Amino acid sequence: KLFLDDGKREDIRDMFTRERVENSLYPGVEELYRRVLPPDIYKMMITRNIIEIGRPFGDFLGFHEVIPEIFDKEKITEEFVNKHPYFTRYLVIGDSREDEVILDVLEYSRRNRKIEYSISCCRSNHKNNGIEKFDVKFGRDYRGLVGILRN
């Protein structure tokens, strides 16, 4: 848990306006989440960040749920899969080694017939070059991924 007093959290919340969120997105991110992914797809953000940062991005991009300050992504993924047996196909977009544990849980769930499949995409950068488990890797520009998904 981060130790921020309410005043600091309020300052952070005030900083992340819709305009600031929109201007800070990598190319293609808005198009991917707001226009390319089907509107009926359930979108959930699991983030280590605080809610005052995660929520504005989640709201802008049309996420149904933002779960902040999660440092055990394995546990939260297991809980989600078990609570929502009607979700059987997963698309995971991550950018860190910590996100690989999500893929491990989903692969275990697939082998145990809890889900049909998962597809994973990783925004690659110099800090996470060692990530191996993702199906697709792309850079900060999401437009290539958007192009693939549109066709």
26: which DSSP letter?
A: P
pLDDT in tens, 63-84: 999 999 999 999 999 999 999 9
- For 144, the token pair is 């290539």
Q: What is the pLDDT of residue 129?
A: 63
Phi, then psi, of 39 in degrees rounded to 5:
-65, -25
Which residue type occupies 59?
D
Residue 148 or residue 24, greater confidence? 24
Phi, then psi, of 59 in degrees rounded to 5:
-65, -45
Q: What is the pLDDT of residue 130?
A: 63
Strand partners, 18: none
Helix/strand/coil percentages in the chain, nearest 5: 45, 15, 40
H or E element, residue 108? helix 100-111
Average pLDDT rounded to a whole number, residues 34-48: 93
pLDDT in tens, 3-38: 667 788 888 989 999 999 999 999 999 999 999 999
